[in-house]
């Protein structure tokens, strides 16, 4: 009996050792040959929304917009593809649009009633929920850079005007001469609006003029998801043509023009800022996802197609959620937009219909 029991114990011990060796071997093999997992990521941008009709667009101008949208989003995509952060992708992408006279931000900023360029921008980190914004600056080449520095190098969220520029000087920013921001077409747009306003005032009549209405539109923005699962969004603008009294729109307002939360999505807005502020558009989209369980597309549609128009406003957003799903929602006749997913598939749009 004792011999039999000893025999079974020996057999059990031998089998156990072999299993342990096998398990150890499997772990070693797994470490030598780890499974390759592709991290999801993506990026989406806008260059402003409004009455953008194909019949009013020359072939050369349309081509210029498409090429610049492609250049901007491709630069941000490359950063993400190489493992860079969503914040870097957003910042660099917006820089390219700020440097282009095609868009209402940076170089192509519109003019105020007094004939000045006043620039606003904001950025938000979905991982930390930290944010930075600047408004009313006149000598900053790339406002989105300064917004990011406010976020990362100050204890504040928003700085305005001369104070913001004083902060920038302390960081070594070059102050641009205001002539840098002059573009002929933007200045002529101001003159047209002023002339139409003069006619209205002299005749003491009020009428809906499409040109004046669309002087409210402009802005560039970007939202991105990186391979680390972090979201970020940023927005930069020159505001509206003929704005007065140091008016500030939604672009630098966190929750209205820009919002990012790793739990939901990242959003950048463009449109009639007064309504986007009142509707807290960017945050509302995130909140509908978080509290009502809506998808990104459902939430974006609810806000842009129902809530904003109900107030009397219009415009659009671009957004990306934590899973890489994208929304490009607008209630105007067009919005300059583009997106790229983790597969490198590029989509560019301008008009309401699918381009």
Query: Would you please indicate which residues are annotated as catalytic (active-site) residues?
Result: 219
- Of the candidates 255, 282, 345, 257, which has an alpha carbon nearest to the alpha carbon of residue 43? 345
User: Residues 250, 44, 326, CA angle at the centre, nearest 5°?
Assistant: 100
3-state secondary structure the chain: CHHHHHHHHHHHHHHHHHHHHHHHHHHHHHHHCCCCCCCCCEEEEEEEEECCCHHHCCHHHHHHHHHHHHHHHHHHHHHHHCCCCHHHHHHHHHHHHHCCCCCCCHHHCCCCCCCCCCEEEEEEECCCCCEEEEEEECCCCCHHHHHHHHHHHCCCCEEEHHHHHHHHHHCCCCCCCHHHHCCHHHHHHHHHHHHHHHHHHHHCCCCCCHHHHHCCCCCEEEEEECCCCCEEEEEEECCCCCCCCCCCCCCCCECCCEEECCCCEEEEEEECHHHHHHCCHHHHHHHHHHHHCCCHHHHHHHHHHHHHHHHCCCEEEEEEECCCCEEEEECCCEEEEEEEECCCCEEEEEECCCC
Distance CA 259, CA 112 (A): 26
Q: Report how far apart, in Å, the C-alpha atoms of 8 and of each of 11, 13, 20, 21 are.
A: 5, 9, 18, 20
């Amino acid at each position: 009996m004792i011999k039999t029991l000893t025999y079974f114990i020996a057999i059990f011990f031998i089998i156990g050792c072999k299993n342990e060796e096998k398990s150890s071997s499997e772990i070693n093999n797994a470490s030598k040959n780890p499974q390759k997992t592709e991290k999801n990521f993506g990026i989406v941008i806008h260059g402003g929304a409004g009455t953008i009709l194909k019949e009013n667009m020359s072939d050369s101008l349309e081509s210029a917009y498409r090429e610049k949208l492609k250049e901007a989003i491709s630069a941000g995509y490359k950063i993400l593809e190489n493992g860079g952060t969503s914040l870097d992708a957003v910042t660099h992408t917006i820089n390219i649009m700020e440097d282009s006279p095609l868009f209402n931000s940076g170089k192509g900023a519109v003019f105020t009633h007094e004939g000045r360029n006043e620039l606003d921008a904001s950025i938000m980190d979905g991982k930390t929920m930290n944010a930075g914004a600047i408004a009313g600056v006149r000598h900053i080449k790339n406002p989105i850079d300064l917004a990011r520095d406010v976020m990362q190098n100050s204890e504040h969220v928003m700085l305005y005007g001369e104070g913001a520029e004083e902060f920038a000087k302390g960081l070594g920013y070059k102050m641009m001469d205001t002539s840098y921001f002059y573009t002929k077409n933007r200045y002529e747009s101001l003159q047209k609006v002023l002339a139409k306003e003069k006619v209205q005032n002299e005749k003491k009549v009020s009428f809906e003029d499409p040109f004046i209405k669309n002087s409210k539109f402009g802005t560039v923005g970007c939202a991105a998801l990186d391979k680390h699962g972090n979201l970020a969004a940023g927005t930069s603008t020159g505001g509206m043509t003929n704005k007065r009294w140091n008016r500030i729109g939604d672009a630098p307002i966190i929750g209205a023009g820009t919002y990012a939360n790793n739990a939901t999505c990242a959003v950048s807005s463009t449109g009639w800022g007064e309504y986007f502020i009142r509707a807290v558009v960017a945050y509302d989209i995130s909140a509908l996802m978080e509290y009502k369980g809506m998808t990104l597309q459902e939430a974006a549609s609810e806000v842009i197609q129902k809530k904003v128009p109900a107030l009397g406003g219009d415009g659009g957003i671009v957004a990306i959620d934590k899973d890489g799903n994208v929304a490009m929602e607008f209630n105007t006749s067009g919005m300059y937009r583009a997106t790229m997913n983790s597969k490198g598939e590029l989509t560019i749009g301008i008009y309401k219909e699918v381009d």
